[in-house]
Amino acid sequence: MKDVIDTPTKIREGEELDVSTLETFLKDEIKGLSGPFDVKQFPSGFSNLTYQITAGGRELILRRPPFGTKAKSAHDMGREFNILTALYSVFPYCPKPYVYSEDESIIGSSFYVMGKLQGIILRKNLPKGLSFTPEEARLLSQSSLDIQHQLHSVNYRSIGLENFGKPQGYVRRQVEGWSKRYRNARTADAPDFEAVMAWLDTHQPPDCEKPGIIHNDYKLDNLVLDPENPTKIVGVLDWEMATLGDPLMDLGSSLAYWVQKSDSAEMIGMRSLPTHLDGFLAREELVERYLEKSGLKIDSFDFYLVFGMFRLAGIAQQIYYRYFHGQTKDKRFAMLIFAVGILEKEAKKIILKR
């Protein structure tokens, strides 16, 4: 199954690192790191940049904010490193954190280095050589949901993360915060989302009775699969937005990415994951499974899914804003404006059905 494992490629123009300075720093900081030093970049992802470091046969991963970033709080490498450090001993799907640095003289920004989790990462389409039977797709769906619930169930106080976020008032802050961020990032060619934001503002549920650690970007392409058994998840990546909050908000954000076979042609066309294939559970089935496992009681999941779609549109719009204003040369970002429009349309559909 080696052909389906995610591999790095040459570094994109404008996103190069000072390899010599980085090599000196890491060989001083990480015990046993030696040998020829090489850096490549993973081509996928739209937010923090991910590089693979190879030194004497040892593979590590470096994470840094995107070039052109203005808001430090949106790409806080220290925060991401700290949650991995706290979680590593109790949540077996975390990569091992090694070193964090705020010294911008090394690569031009803060960054951290962690161990590499070897395995398969799914993208829009299954890689050549990999297929899932309907039963295997169902098992992967269930495993994905169960591990997300496992994260939410971690006793965050026991690992020193009680100050990692503020669960009380989480829903209100998210609705207000993402509404403000969307308006600030809106470009002339973007939908206004005002009707959706107004609906979210007036339909907020109360605080969750069981707050927990939420990943905030939990989706299939942030999961690492076992090459020998691709229905088995061996790792969870991209912890940059993790915090303490409402697990149902986290699930809603995840399911905004979960495009299913019964969705509109536009939704299926903009999908970034292969969850439309036969056997993958529908969003409704995933919600039912989560509620059964967690014991949470709600009348409807519509608010959480609409919020998830709005939040996803906000993330896409923030990234598109950087491209629109020439802060990045990555041509992939040009297409995000279409996803923003589709997500507004789909969110309105859910609201109108109520």
**pLDDT-based confidence at residue 5 (cuts at 50, 70, 90):** low
Output the pLDDT for position 74. Answer: 52
Mind listing the pLDDT tens digit for each residue in 96-144? 999 999 999 999 999 999 999 999 999 999 999 899 999 999 999 999 9
Distance CA 316, CA 149 (A): 26
Phi-psi sector, 142: left (phi>0), alpha (psi -120 to 50), beta: alpha
Q: Report whether 55 contacts 24 (CB < 8 A).
A: no
Q: Which residues contact 275 (CB under 8 A, 6 or more apart)?
A: 141, 220, 257, 258, 259, 260
Distance CA 26, CA 32 (A): 10
Q: Given a cut of 70, is residue 68 above it in pLDDT?
A: no
Q: Report whether 86 contacts 242 (CB < 8 A).
A: no
**pLDDT-based confidence at residue 328 (cuts at 50, 70, 90):** confident
List residues bridging with 212 in a β-sheet.
Answer: 245
What is the dihedral sign for C-alpha 227, 225, 116, 332? positive
Q: Report whether 8 contacts 15 (CB < 8 A).
A: no
**pLDDT-based confidence at residue 45 (cuts at 50, 70, 90):** low
Phi-psi sector, 57: left (phi>0), alpha (psi -120 to 50), beta: left
Q: Report whether 221 contacts 260 (CB < 8 A).
A: no
Phi, psi (rounded to 5 degrees) for 112: -140, 160
Distance CA 282, CA 331 (A): 32
Place of tokens 């899932």: 132
Mean predicted confidence (pLDDT) in 255-270:
96
**pLDDT-based confidence at residue 207 (cuts at 50, 70, 90):** very high
Q: Which domains are delineated in the chain? A: 2-115 (3.30.200.20), 134-353 (3.90.1200.10)
Mind listing the pLDDT tens digit for each residue in 298-322? 999 999 999 999 999 999 999 999 9
**pLDDT-based confidence at residue 69 (cuts at 50, 70, 90):** low
User: Considering only CA atoms, which of 61, 63, 64 is closest in space to residue 53?
Assistant: 61
Output the pLDDT for position 208. Answer: 94
Q: Given a cut of 80, is residue 238 above it in pLDDT?
A: yes
Mean predicted confidence (pLDDT) in 39-58:
86
- % of the chain with per-residue pLDDT over 70: 95
Of 25-34, 62-71, 273-282, 343-352, the least confident:
62-71
- % of the chain with per-residue pLDDT over 90: 85
Average pLDDT, rounded, for the chain:
93
Q: Report whether 246 contacts 254 (CB < 8 A).
A: no
Mind listing the pLDDT tens digit for each residue in 169-186? 999 999 999 999 999 999
User: Considering only CA atoms, which of 318, 305, 287, 316 is closest in space to residue 347?
Assistant: 305
